[in-house]
């Protein structure tokens, strides 16, 4: 008689947190590549409520607008889920708190925190980073064969991704100036930008054709 006992396999959950102001093709490509490279069950695109290391240096678009853009960017992409956990929690957005919330809902899960190589070099400035390193594995996205040196207490994995020259800073400038962004932002994200008049976009800046998408 066959053994009917089923062994529970822990979920493998990636957390890709960010300001996403706006979310662009580089964000989506990185999330999809990491999911496939590590065999993650899902990647949560976590929209920061108050990205405290940025909000003190520049104006940040409202959290509700950034959440709407990320939902538009991820729509229809298997394995990517949009999370408003940090917005719901309020206050400064600390990754340690977010991982702890995810583990509360999924106590047996393996959690992977996805960061870019530039962010990885600043991990020691994060809130409770030492404790975070004990409950999650860091995934460092790299685009060049660079050598990264992280604290020995951090468990981390390197994932190489295709080069997509894109930055949210440059996109905000382009949108404000009315320059073309169709190869860097999906039509659905652009629709949110125009509907909410984000980044100083004027009404006379015509959105790209609805036939263009990523």
Residue 2 confidence (pLDDT) above 80:
no
- pLDDT (tens digit per residue) in 42-95: 999 999 999 877 766 678 999 999 999 999 999 999 999 999 999 999 999 999
Domains of the chain: 12-165 (3.40.50.620)
- pLDDT (tens digit per residue) in 109-139: 999 999 998 889 899 999 999 999 999 999 9
Q: What is the DSSP string of 90-146?
A: -SS--HHHHHHHHHHHSTT-EEEEEEEHHHHTTGGGSTTHHHHHHH-EEEEEESS--
Nearest-Å Rg of the Cα atoms of the chain is: 18
Report the C-alpha gap between 102 and 110 in whole angstroms.
10
Tokens of 90: 């309020």
Whole-number percent of the chain with pLDDT over 90: 72
Whole-number percent of the chain with pLDDT over 70: 87
At 210, the pLDDT band (50, 70, 90 cuts) reads very low
Report the C-alpha gap between 199 and 181 in whole angstroms.
13
């Amino acid at each position: 008689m066959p053994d009917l006992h089923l062994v529970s396999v822990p979920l493998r959950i990636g957390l890709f947190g960010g300001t996403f102001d706006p979310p662009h093709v580089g964000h989506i490509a990185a999330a999809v590549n990491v999911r496939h490279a590590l065999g993650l069950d899902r990647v949560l695109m976590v929209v920061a409520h108050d990205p405290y290391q940025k909000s003190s240096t520049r104006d940040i678009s409202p959290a509700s607008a950034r959440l709407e853009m990320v939902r538009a960017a991820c729509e229809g992409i298997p394995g990517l889920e949009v999370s408003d956990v940090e917005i719901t929690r309020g206050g400064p957005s600390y990754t340690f708190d977010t991982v702890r919330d995810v583990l509360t809902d999924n106590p047996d899960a393996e959690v992977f925190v996805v960061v870019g190589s530039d962010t990885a070099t600043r991990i020691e400035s994060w809130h409770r980073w030492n404790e975070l390193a004990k409950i999650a594995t860091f995934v460092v996205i790299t685009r060049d064969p660079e050598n990264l040196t992280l604290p020995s207490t951090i468990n981390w994995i390197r994932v190489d991704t295709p080069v997509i020259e894109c930055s949210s800073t440059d996109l905000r400038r382009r949108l404000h100036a009315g320059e073309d962004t169709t190869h860097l932002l999906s039509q659905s994200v652009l629709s949110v930008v125009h509907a909410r008049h984000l980044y100083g976009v004027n009404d006379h800046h015509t959105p790209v054709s609805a036939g263009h998408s990523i």
